[in-house]
Amino acid sequence: MKATVAIALAAVYLIWGSTYLAIRFALEGGFPPFLLGGVRFVIAGSLMYTVLRWRGMSAPTRAQWVNAAAMGVMLLLLGNGMVNYAEQTVSSGMAAVAVASAPLWMAMFAAMRGEHPNRIEWIGLGIGFVGVVWLNIGGSLSASKIGMIALLVATIAWSFGSIWSRGRDMAPPFMGAAAQMLCGGVAMCVLGVAIGERFHAVPTAAGLAAFSYLIVFGSIIGFSAYIWLLHHVRPALAGSYAYVNPAIAVMLGAVLAHERFSAHELAAMGVILFGVVAITMAKAGKKKA
């Protein structure tokens, strides 16, 4: 079990840290924001659903489809879709800071349903958020007002949906992830078409490559790992990806875009990791108690 948790955390830490860059490349390559997410999740969800059914897994019940649709709207249409929309006018640094508040919102929503974080978890959450803000101080944190509103909606919807799902009648994690991607993807396509999004030309090669990466790694692997974590670990640990992703994004920027990062950024990443360690220790302590 410990090894599986570690693998799932590595997937959401490393893969989702790279998706900000992939989303940016896809948007610049000709994909409209909601159709980018919609087509991406419909393809990923269809592939997963087909393989799982072929391997003999039962289809979700009617009630499970309803819950999957609700999760698809909250996590994908409002969560991922609004991040896509925001990245048209919001700097990557500001997006990272906004998304980093997700574990704090998750802790608040969990407390409202009786799952109170303990003192060490609150300390870890606070340290992680301070680290993310520090990481982005001095960077390009410019943003439009509509972009900031979109990020706020995305973060709250994702956090609420993550906590809302706990204890609900959901399909097994992987089938549940497939169902949520199908429902959320269809909802995103409908919204994209309704607001006038269209493909005015064939996306560039770089855009298509980024899109393919988002399907395989961001959706099938990363999203499935996150849904599995929601079923098996505490909300604070499941949401700790938001603190590590910005650090991963900075390192990828240095490697792929030849961006420089200073001692200040290295120190901030150390603070972020310290916060994650605190959350992990709190989780381990609760299991022993």
Q: How far is CA 259 from the centre of its chain?
A: 24
pLDDT of 236 above 80: no
Residue linked to tokens 């925001």: 86
Predicted confidence at residue 289, as pLDDT, reads: 54
Would you place residue 288 in the very low, low, confident or very high pLDDT band (cuts 50, 70, 90)?
low
Residue 180 has what pLDDT? Answer: 97
pLDDT-based confidence at 287, cuts 50/70/90?
Answer: low
pLDDT per residue as tens digits for the range 62-79: 999 999 999 999 999 999
Instruction: Retrieve residue 35's tokens.
Output: 């159709």
Give the DSSP H/E element, type plus range, for residue 74.
none
7-19 per-position pLDDT tens digit = 999 999 999 888 8
Answer whether residue 143 shows pLDDT above 60. Answer: no
Q: What is the pLDDT of residue 204?
A: 96
pLDDT score of 6 more than 60? yes
Tens of pLDDT along 249-266? Answer: 777 767 776 666 667 767
DSSP secondary structure of 198-250: ---SPPPHHHHHHHHHIIIIIIIIIIHHHHHHHHHS-HHHHTTHHHHHHHHHH
pLDDT tier for residue 242 given thresholds of 50, 70 and 90: confident
> How far is 62 from 156, CA to CA, in rounded Å?
27
C-alpha distances (whole Å) from 7 to each of 117, 238, 247, 280, 287 are: 24, 12, 18, 14, 19
pLDDT, position 285: 62
Q: Where residue 138 falls among pLDDT bands split at 50, 70, 90?
A: low
Does the pLDDT of residue 218 top 90, yes or no?
Answer: yes
Which band of pLDDT confidence, cut at 50, 70 and 90, is reported for residue 283?
low
Does residue 286 or residue 168 have the better pLDDT?
168
d(CA 108, CA 117): 9
In this predicted structure, what is the pLDDT of residue 284?
60
Say what the pLDDT of residue 24 is: 86
Q: For a pLDDT cut of 90, what percent of the chain falls above it?
A: 48
d(CA 162, CA 238): 9
pLDDT at 177: 94
Across the range 200-210, mean pLDDT stands at 94
Per the model's pLDDT, the better-predicted residue between 274 and 203 turns out to be 203
Token pair belonging to 268: 């901030």
Question: Both tokens of residue 194?
Answer: 């309704």
| Between 133 and 181, residue with greater pLDDT | 181
